[in-house]
Amino acid sequence: MPVWKRLLLTAYYYGFHPHRWWRNRRLAAEGRLPLVVLIYHRIADDAANVWTTHPRVFARDIDWLQRRFRLISLEEVQQRIRQGYNDEPCVSITFDDGYAINCEVALPLLIQRRIPLTYFVSTAPILEGAYFEHDLRMGNRFRPNTLAEIRQLADQGVEIGAHTRTHPDLGRVHDLRQLRDEIVTATEDLQDAVGVPIRYFAFPIGQHANLNAQAFHLARQWGFEAACSAYGGFNEPGGDAFHLQRAGVDGPAILTKNWATLDPRKKYQIRRFDYGEAPEPAPEPVGVAAGE
């Protein structure tokens, strides 16, 4: 993030902080305080891309969050949404993709502090050692997590989530067989390999253009407990507990502060993705058409 933009965002955060504090206190008193889900990708000190956060920044983020919020699992986020009542500031932490370097600092920090975490990984990099295409296009060959690392994380209580097989833009995928392989078969392969239930799914990239209503319905039909986007947004008590809205906070700490404190400007700018009702199954043919 350019320095000028970071300075403007910092001024905006502190300038409107009293208003946010007052508004959030009122929402909490009414039991209507939204729930926040944050996304990190890669914690490293090389500043390789916009989805890399420096370890010192990440540690400061976690310290700040722990002082001000209840850090909860996605399961508890869903519970509070379904009960239609939330009176305390809550944040859930997630990671996407599955980079091995996260096991050096970030994940041990969260595990040591017993902070709930959902770690979404793509199956091909984990099982085949394949590099992510988006990294290769930038000339980077970042090692993905190994299966042994993912098994160890699961043993330590980390919730492992599905993030497709090859990290495609699902907004461009309309072939049902490919969707089924990326969402269902890839998850079954990951589940069998890791040996734990895979309960949550996250769309790669996750902006509006990268979502797919058919993929939402396929995820629900397979049995996922939730499908997660990444275009930003807050989860309202009494709202949709299947589609969990998340916000990316890779980079400077001011992004975490703005999202976690429910930036009101974002709240009114964000358009929720409407995936509609699941289509009715086609009726079975009868009579002569059915071969009788």
Q: Express each pLDDT in 164-216 by its tens digit.
A: 999 999 999 999 999 999 999 999 999 999 999 999 999 999 999 999 999 99
Residue 159 lies in a domain: yes
Q: What digits encode the pLDDT tens for the residues 221-243?
A: 999 999 999 999 999 999 999 99
Where does the pLDDT of residue 283 fall: very low under 50, low under 70, confident under 90, or very high at 90 and above? Answer: very low
Query: Quick one: which of 202, 47, 124, 148 has its CA closest to 133?
Result: 124
Residues of the chain with pLDDT > 70, as a percent, come to 94
Residue 181 lies in a domain: yes
Burial 211-228 (b: 16+ CB within 10 A, else e): bbebbbbbbbebebbbbb
Residue 242 lies in a domain: yes
Residue 7: its pLDDT value, please? 93
Can you tell me the distance from the alpha carbon of 84 to that of 33, in angstroms, rounded to the nearest whole number? Answer: 10
Q: Which residue has the tokens 């519970």?
A: 79
Residue 271: its pLDDT value, please? 81
Can you tell me the distance from the alpha carbon of 98 to that of 38, in angstroms, rounded to the nearest whole number? Answer: 16
Q: How many domains does the chain have?
A: 1
Residue 291: its pLDDT value, please? 37
What residues are paired with 235 via a beta bridge?
35
Rounded to an integer, the average pLDDT of 260-275 is: 84
Residue 290 lies in a domain: no
Residue 142 lies in a domain: yes
pLDDT at 153 over 70: yes
What residues are paired with 200 via a beta bridge?
226
More confident residue, 16 or 53: 53
Where does the pLDDT of residue 279 fall: very low under 50, low under 70, confident under 90, or very high at 90 and above? Answer: low
Up-side HSE of residue 197: CA atoms within 13 Å toward CB? 6
Contact criterion met (CB below 8 Å) for 214 and 174: yes
Residue 280: its pLDDT value, please? 52
pLDDT at 152 over 50: yes
At a CB cut-off of 8 Å and minimum separation 6, what does 115 contact? Answer: 62, 66, 71, 93
Query: Quick one: which of 117, 83, 95 has its CA closest to 236?
Result: 83
Residue 285 lies in a domain: no
Residue 104 lies in a domain: yes
Residue 288: its pLDDT value, please? 33
What are the two backbone dihedrals, phi and then psi, of residue 233, each rounded to the nearest 5 degrees?
135, 160
Residue 168 lies in a domain: yes
The kind and range of the H/E element at 167 are none
- The residue range of the domain holding 55 is 3-272
Query: Quick one: which of 40, 37, 4, 6 has its CA closest to 249?
Result: 40
Q: What digits encode the pLDDT tens for the residues 90-128?
A: 999 999 999 999 999 999 999 999 999 999 999 999 999
The structure tokens listed for 235 are 């989860």
Can you tell me the distance from the alpha carbon of 76 to that of 10, in angstroms, rounded to the nearest whole number? Answer: 30
- Residue count (the chain): 292
What residues are paired with 37 via a beta bridge?
92
Where does the pLDDT of residue 87 fall: very low under 50, low under 70, confident under 90, or very high at 90 and above? Answer: very high
User: What CATH number is attached to the domain comprising 91?
Assistant: 3.20.20.370
What is the overall mean pLDDT for the chain? Answer: 93
Residue 63: its pLDDT value, please? 98
